[in-house]
Amino acid sequence: MIFNYNFCSLFSGKTIFICLLTFFIFLFGSNCFSQDDNIKKGKALFNTNCAACHKINKRAVGPALKGVSDKYEKEWLYTWIKNSTAMVKSGDARAVAIYEEYNGSVMTSFPQLSNEDIDNILAYTDYIPPAPVAAIQTPVVATQNNSNISNTIILSVLVLVLLSLLTMLILVNKTLKKIAISNGVVFEEKPKKQKTPLWKLFIENPFLVFLSVVFFLFSSAYVGYAYLMQIGIDQGYMPIQPIHYSHKIHSGDNQIECKYCHSSARVSKHSGIPSLNVCMNCHMNIAEYNGEEDLEKGYTKEFYTNEIKKLYKAVGWNEETQSYTGETQPVEWVRIHNLPDFVYFNHAQHVSVAGIDCQKCHGPVEEMEILYQHSSLTMGWCIDCHRESDVNLKDNEYYTKIHEELSKKYGVEKLTVAQMGGLECGKCHY
């Protein structure tokens, strides 16, 4: 728990830093883009039409588009983009060459794009942004770091000053004493009283002994009980995974729905760790990380990109040829939420029937850079919720009969899970 707390506080610090950073980028960026409207339009068009298969600097499904207008004349590009298939069929040498280079995969035709649109896109792909981000970044980081350093220096200087003051005082005191002795001042020695030691007093008082024994017994029982009760409870369990998968980036920053990846939670007892082909739905096109960084923790762009490379290795994806090699290495994730074998838990019941948010049990997953166990997963925790939660009787035909019978009999309109038998042992233990 303590660790989590620290983690969270650091986290918020980081957020402030990121806000600052984006502010600067925004300032600079808006200045820059306002100079060329075409590039801005081109970027928008590129993102909607081209980005699925093309990247600026890197080969993806299709070739990298940086400097494409230098390679081909504009007229050729217009016809190619509007209807590439026809061009290949007509036997245009360059068109056929591209077609063959990319193993006969056909580029989608964009007849809806006007020549002006294409010009804008080309303007965007040709645009070389100056490298301003790094320039801005450094001073921000530096100031932050400086302030940290100065604090420590000030503190240590203060400590040093205090220490030297102390030593000076002691030295002064000593010298004064020496002077006094040499001047003949006599220091009286205090006579030592014969006191009974405290422990003897304690032993001689039976009531006190009794009290403390009782205290000792109770406190050790308390400590022992507390120790036993936490066995097997792994709240806050945050193991290191073979691939650093950030729920914060996927679920938080990119707003991907939980059940997009954990699709079996809707229908099955397992929420399911997504198979790697689900990752590849997006990561076939997202080969590198371009989002925010957390330099303090070492979560740089390279770091994240490297993690994506791990995924490619596991799934057997060859970036060069944009195809699967067939050599796979299944990922051995460390399981975080471990229910004992004797408990039956069904995700579908909670997610689909009851419509509970994933966060109710799993916590703020969209903020977790590294996933940890949010809830205690103890039986008491389950039961508490079953006692409080009402069953949604209205929208489900299954409950209509039960609801009718109950309202007729007892006039009950609301029904908790517990009243439906949600506390019965056999409902979860079989």
Pairing of strands 317-318, 323-324: antiparallel
Least Å from the CB of residue 403 to other proteins: 9
- Which CB sits closer to other proteins, 180 or 343? 343
Question: What's 104's DSSP letter?
Answer: T
- Single residue of 285, 352, 389, 416 touching other proteins by CB under 8 A: 352
377, 413 in Cβ contact below 8 A? no
Site for other proteins in 224-243 (CB under 8 A): 231-232, 234, 239
Q: Which two three-digit tokens encode residue 417?
A: 């899970």
Q: How many residues bind other proteins (CB under 8 A)?
A: 57
Q: How many residues does the chain have?
A: 430
Interface pick for other proteins out of 5, 207, 227, 430 (rule CB under 8 A): 430
- Report the site for other proteins in 150-189 (rule: CB under 8 A): none
Which of 310, 302, 322, 299 has its CA nearest to residue 276?
Answer: 310
Taking each helix axis as running N to C, give the angle between helix 115-126 and helix 37-45, from 0 to 180 degrees, rounded to the nearest 10.
100
Residue type present at position 146: N
Count the neighbouring beta carbons within 10 Å of the beta carbon of residue 207. 7
Looking at the Cβ atoms of 243 and 286, the one nearer to other proteins is 243
Cβ partners under 8 Å of residue 74, min gap 6 = 118, 119, 122
Which of residues 136, 353, 383, 418 is near other proteins by CB under 8 A? 353
State the minimum distance, in angstroms, from the CB of residue 257 to other proteins.
18
Q: Which CB sits closer to other proteins, 205 or 328?
A: 328
Closer residue to other proteins in complex, CB, 193/409: 409
Among 148, 150, 275, 321, binds other proteins (CB under 8 A): 275
Stretch that binds other proteins, among 55-63, 129-137, 297-305, 338-346 (CB under 8 A): 338-346
Residues 6+ apart with CB under 8 A from 318: 312, 324, 325
CB atoms within 10 A of CB 63: 17
C-beta of 216: minimal distance to other proteins in Å?
Answer: 23
Select 51 or 278, whichever has its Cβ closest to other proteins: 278
* Distant-in-sequence, close-in-space partners of 41: CB < 8 Å, separation ≥ 6: 117, 120
269 part of the interface to other proteins, by CB under 8 A? yes
| Rounded (5°) CA angle 84-90-93 | 80
Within residues 391-420, the interface with other proteins by CB under 8 A covers 395-402, 405-406, 409, 420
Closest listed residue to residue 283, CA positions, set 303, 313, 255: 313
**Contacts with other proteins, residue ranges (CB under 8 A):** 231-232, 234, 239, 264, 267-270, 272-278, 314-316, 328-335, 338, 340-344, 346, 348-349, 352-353, 395-402, 405-406, 409, 420-421, 424-427, 429-430
